[in-house]
């Protein structure tokens, strides 16, 4: 059933048109892990949401983080780490494959896809034709491109940056890549802090989805008071940065 919407604690969100319905898919951590699905209506002054249903994670070892919706209503969901693993920080700090990527469809349920490919999978986005997937490896400090038809994998390293969130730019010619340029321990300390802002440095890059070459746009910086940046969205000449 639905989560406690007064305590949704949303993480990743994704918008897609599924079966002619404008659909918003939301990773929720309030009151337990779930993936909530809404129909969104843009007709009024303020958009309205109608709850469609929810999908539960495949098991207790899955920590849902980001979601990319497929045109049949299925979804790709990243799991950054195993919440039942007492040594998950050490596992992430190794930079080795860790975490999971799950694919869900109503008719078949959950499947783990591309095992041992990602190191701390975080953000995930799909190309317009849904055949190419880009995954942010938070602890692996790289972006992985996967051809979903052939399974071919290409990586671009981001040096010391913990690659967090991915988003297409406005004309979908580049991927905007954000992440923290401090340590994993500092990243978790920021995420668990009650402070509005963290003094964790971050950067924003632009990634060419064809050549997989990167270009630094912002940082590393805390932009005065807003540390712990995770990603960016474009609106014309303006970048909105998530934190």
pLDDT for residue 122 = 97
Residue 1's pLDDT band (cuts 50, 70, 90): low
pLDDT for residue 81 = 96
The whole-number average pLDDT for the span 119-137 is 97
In the predicted model, is pLDDT for residue 123 greater than 80? yes
pTM listed for this prediction: 0.94
Cα atoms found within 13 Å of the Cα of residue 134, Cβ hemisphere only: 23
């Amino acid at each position: 059933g639905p989560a406690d919407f007064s305590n949704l604690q949303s993480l990743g969100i994704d918008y897609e048109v599924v079966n002619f319905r404008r659909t918003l898919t939301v990773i929720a951590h309030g009151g337990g892990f779930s993936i909530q699905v809404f129909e969104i209506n843009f007709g009024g002054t303020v958009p309205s949401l109608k709850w469609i249903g929810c999908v539960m994670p495949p098991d207790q070892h899955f920590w849902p983080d980001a979601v990319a919706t497929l045109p049949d209503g299925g979804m790709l969901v990243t799991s950054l780490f195993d919440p039942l693993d007492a040594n998950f920080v050490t596992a992430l700090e190794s930079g080795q494959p860790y975490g999971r990527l799950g694919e869900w469809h109503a008719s078949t349920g959950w499947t783990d896809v591309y095992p041992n490919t990602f190191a701390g999978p975080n953000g995930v986005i799909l190309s317009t034709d849904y055949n190419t997937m880009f995954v942010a490896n938070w602890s692996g400090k790289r972006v992985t491109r996967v051809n979903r038809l052939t399974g071919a994998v290409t990586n671009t390293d981001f040096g010391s940056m913990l690659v967090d969130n991915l988003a297409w730019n406005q004309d979908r010619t580049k991927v905007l890549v954000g992440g923290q340029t401090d340590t994993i321990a500092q990243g978790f300390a920021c995420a668990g802090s009650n402070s509005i802002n963290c003094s964790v440095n971050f950067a924003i890059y632009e990634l060419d989805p064809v050549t997989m070459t990167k270009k630094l746009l912002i940082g590393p910086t805390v932009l005065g008071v807003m540390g712990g940046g995770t990603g960016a969205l474009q609106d014309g000449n303006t970048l909105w940065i998530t934190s």
